[in-house]
Structure 1
């Protein structure tokens, strides 16, 4: 019997002028067309906080700092693999105001919006 593999993800809630930044997944990638908070995979040996700051920079070109942890979610892989996903959501603040520059390999659009207008319920499978 094999042990269940573990994957650690981080997501960042960045607020600007009362609106939260959401990114839309590019076509051809996992969960294409869905909106999500900036974030991604924690690399081996990397802290969750370091991964969160790095992922925001890679995906948006923005520099942020961690303000605090907002929540944690855990679920089994949505494709049925023997993989447990652990996600942490952080509140972050910008280090200087910059334009969003997307990594088009991952996301094709962004929006600063009231979080109540986007349905993220299926993003966290738990």
Structure 2
């Protein structure tokens, strides 16, 4: 039996000066106050790369360039699947519109952040990418 198709969701690990950007959710209620890699759903006909650049522009008002995907995927419930790419800022400063706060986190602080569960599997590879 073929597994059901899942909606693709992409997140950005935006790197700068040895830190990564974390964004704090305000909704839904069960996710409010927890942190994530910003991003969103891939629209039909859109590449994951284009979706991530679009979502970061919409959510944070800045532009990024992707530098590669972290390995693996993570389920978000039964209907969505998350992939996370690393990227760098190319224009603007992150200003949250859908989150209530953003912060730059060092590799040593990654475990101190209350990440959403689907984001957690990417932390080991991200830490390696950050050079620690």
Q: Which bin holds the TM-score, normalised by the shorter protein? A: 0.7 to 0.9
Residue 94 of structure 1 corresponds to 89
- SS of structure 1 residue aligned to 2:59: helix
CA drift of 1:69 comes to 0.9
Residue 120 of structure 1 corresponds to 115
Q: Which runs of 5+ in 2 are unaligned?
A: 122-132
- SS of structure 2 residue aligned to 1:111: strand
- SS of structure 1 residue aligned to 2:96: coil
RMSD value, Cα? 2.6
CA drift of 1:4 comes to 3.0
Alignment of 1:60-79 (within 5 A): 60-75=60-75, 77=77
Residue 102 of structure 2 corresponds to 110
Larger proportion of helix: 2
Kept after mapping to 2: 8 A contact 1:73/1:124: no
Residue 26 of structure 1 corresponds to 26
CA drift of 1:85 comes to 2.1
Kept after mapping to 2: 8 A contact 1:74/1:84: no
* Matched positions, count: 118
In structure 2, the CA distance between the partners of 1:117 and 1:91, relative to structure 1 (3 Å rule), is same
CA drift of 1:124 comes to 4.1
Give TM-score scaled by structure 2 length: 0.75
Give TM-score scaled by structure 1 length: 0.78
CA drift of 1:88 comes to 1.1
